[in-house]
Copies of this chain bind each other. A is one copy, B any other.
């Protein structure tokens, strides 16, 4: 099974459109490139979650970072924050329509990472090997 993802050619990214778009792309990558952002989005892709659920299921994240990550995503309109003023309080987070829309290209990139992990790993080993040997350099002048 194949999930098709399309995007308009008119939105093609070149050196030209890059200047025109200003820092838009870098901004998005900066946001999405946060250490934990992608995991939060993946979690919320499966449905709304409470703060404590996210905290528990995303192993290793601190509550401070989770809070700021969610706040940033809220600012950009990717998630909603619904407070239920009970005791104890309850806060539910969910993806907005904008957040859902982002999933397509983001998951495409994630899938690429998973599918091509071996190629990257191989490239890293090859690079390491190149650095370790370094044979013909001094010998060249003898």
Contacts and interface: CB of A to CB of B under 8 A. Distances in A.
Interface of A: 1-15, 17-18, 21, 24-30, 32-35, 38-39, 42-43, 45-46, 57, 74-78, 96, 98, 101-102, 104-117, 119-120, 122-124, 126-127
A132 to B, nearest CB: 13
Contact of A108 (B7, B76, B98): B7
Contacts of A101: 112, 116
Contact of A8 (B2, B7, B12, B24): B2
Contacts of A96: 123
Given A5-B6, A112-B102, A114-B21, A30 B33 contact: yes
A120 to B, nearest CB: 5
B98 A15 contact: no
B105 A112 contact: yes
A11 B57 CA distance: 21
Closest 7 pairs (CB-CB, A-B): A33-B33, A77-B123, A11-B111, A28-B113, A1-B9, A105-B109, A13-B110
A115 B8 contact: yes
